[in-house]
Amino acid sequence: MNTLLLASTSPYRRELLQRLRLPFDCARPQVDESPLPGEVPAALAVRLAAAKAAEVSRRHPGAWVIGSDQVADLAGQPLGKPGTVEAARAQLAGMSGAAVQFHTAICLMRDGERREALDTTTVRFRVLTEAEIARYVDAEEPLDCAGSFKCEGLGIALFEAIDNRDPTALVGLPLIALCALLRQAGIPIP
């Protein structure tokens, strides 16, 4: 079995990858996640997933490295992790009543060999009141989540609908696409 590394310290991605029952370790990527001037959200997600995989791959030759990144896209503008309560409330207020795309990119890399996939999920938010937003942010503290919510928790109450191919993509690691990339790399998935 080849060594498998997840280029992330995200507990959400780690929990998702554990579902595949493959042995893996995690490594923190050292990557600047700032968007480039004019970079659209989907391209940002793809670039950052590849950058994370490449940075960890350089430090761990011979290992298969999984890089992933998610960028929320509100009318063409990227929304990252809010970091503060105020920013989370502002993001959710901006998404109230809107359809938001979440681009989740993955990159599987070993010594320069690279495979990539992008999954896009559309979330339709219901109209949210200030009080609902405040209660939600106080209850779940989604400060480390792109788009300021946790769909696997109470965040589901903020939506009217979710349109996607892979429900794991919205959490941060599209397992359907990842399984295909792992099989292409010769890593058997049960």
Question: If you write DSSP's letter for every residue of the chain in order, what string do you get?
Answer: ---EEES---HHHHHHHHTTT---EE-------PPPTT--HHHHHHHHHHHHHHHHHHHSTT-EEEEEEEEEEETTEEE----SHHHHHHHHHHHTT-EEEEEEEEEEEETTEEEEEEEEEEEEEPP--HHHHHHHHHHH--TTSTTS--TTTGGGGGEEEEE-S-HHHHHT--HHHHHHHHHHTT----
Residue 67 maps to which CATH number? 3.90.950.10
Number of domains in the chain: 1
Tell me whether residue 180 is in a domain: yes
Tell me whether residue 159 is in a domain: yes
Tell me whether residue 190 is in a domain: no
Tell me whether residue 115 is in a domain: yes
- Provide the whole-model pTM: 0.90
Tell me whether residue 189 is in a domain: no
Tens place of pLDDT per residue across the chain (190 aa): 469 999 999 898 999 999 999 999 999 999 999 999 999 999 999 999 999 999 999 999 999 999 999 999 999 988 888 999 999 999 999 999 999 999 999 999 999 899 999 999 999 999 999 999 999 999 999 998 888 988 888 999 999 999 999 999 998 999 999 999 999 999 998 7
Annotated catalytic residue, options 25, 32, 69, 111: 69
Q: Which domain holds residue 93?
A: 4-184
Query: Residue 69 catalytic?
Result: yes
